[in-house]
């Protein structure tokens, strides 16, 4: 079976496989006991190809997971967008989801801001405020208002990977990073965007449509 793996996973997979092989050398039962963890580690770093919808004006999911309740909230202050509330869509990724993150729109990165913080359960609303995060500001192609994507560390997540840089053009559906292990992504919509997704639905990074830009 051809299972694409994100490059961030190779050191962890090598460690899990090595420990598992050593366990088998000690005792078969011990190796079998650890085998599910090794399989989980490989699956966690899987990086399947995705087909982004081509229709203009769409905002797609940056992550696999479950869409949490949709709220109105101010974007992270470190991005300098003011404290006016925006529609926020939050996606919770459990440890079994694909954790590779993808750009929700095509456009240009206009700001990046990392902030250290706590590690509350990412499904809690307070995680958006208190947890460690990487906030990304993107100007969608042809738009006059920015969209915000925030990678948020979770209860067991301890590393946020973001490969973007300010001024970089991005393509809808393209990979831009990941979070280890279990986490959350918030998307703050630009003014006038219309939500088409529903809370509780399962999202697929790079494919599920969350909202539509204003004409």
Annotated catalytic residues are 183
Rounded to whole angstroms, how far apart are CA atoms 9 and 3? 12
The DSSP string of 5-71 is: B-GGGHHHHHHHHHHHHHHHHH-HHHHHHHHHHHHHHHHHTB---------TTEEE-SSSEEE---E
Per residue in 162-198, is it b (16+ CB within 10 Å) or e — as a string? bebeeeeebebbebbbbbbbbbbbbbbbbeebebebe
Number of Cβ atoms within 10 Å of the Cβ of 55: 8
Question: What are 149's two structure tokens?
Answer: 């994507």
Find out whether 167 and 109 touch, Cβ atoms under 8 Å. yes
Question: What are 43's two structure tokens?
Answer: 């699956």
């Amino acid at each position: 079976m051809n299972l694409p793996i994100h490059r961030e996973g190779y050191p962890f997979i090598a460690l899990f496989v090595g420990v598992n092989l050593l366990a088998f050398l000690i005792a078969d039962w011990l190796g079998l006991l650890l085998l599910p963890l090794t399989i989980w580690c490989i699956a966690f770093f899987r990086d399947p190809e995705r087909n982004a919808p081509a229709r203009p004006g769409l905002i797609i999911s940056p992550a696999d997971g479950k869409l949490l309740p949709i709220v109105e909230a101010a974007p992270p202050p470190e991005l300098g967008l003011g404290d006016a509330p925006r529609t926020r869509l939050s996606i919770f990724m459990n440890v079994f989801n694909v954790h590779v993150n993808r750009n929700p729109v095509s456009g240009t990165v206009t700001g990046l801001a990392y902030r250290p913080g706590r590690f509350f359960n990412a499904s809690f609303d307070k995680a958006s405020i208190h947890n460690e995060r990487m906030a990304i500001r993107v100007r969608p192609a042809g738009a006059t208002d920015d969209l915000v994507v925030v990678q948020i560390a979770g209860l067991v997540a301890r590393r946020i990977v973001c490969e973007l840089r300010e001024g970089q053009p991005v393509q809808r559906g393209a990979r831009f990073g990941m979070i280890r292990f279990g986490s959350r992504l918030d998307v703050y919509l630009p003014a006038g965007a219309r939500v088409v997704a529903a809370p509780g639905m399962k999202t697929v990074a790079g494919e599920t449509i969350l909202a539509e830009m204003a004409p």
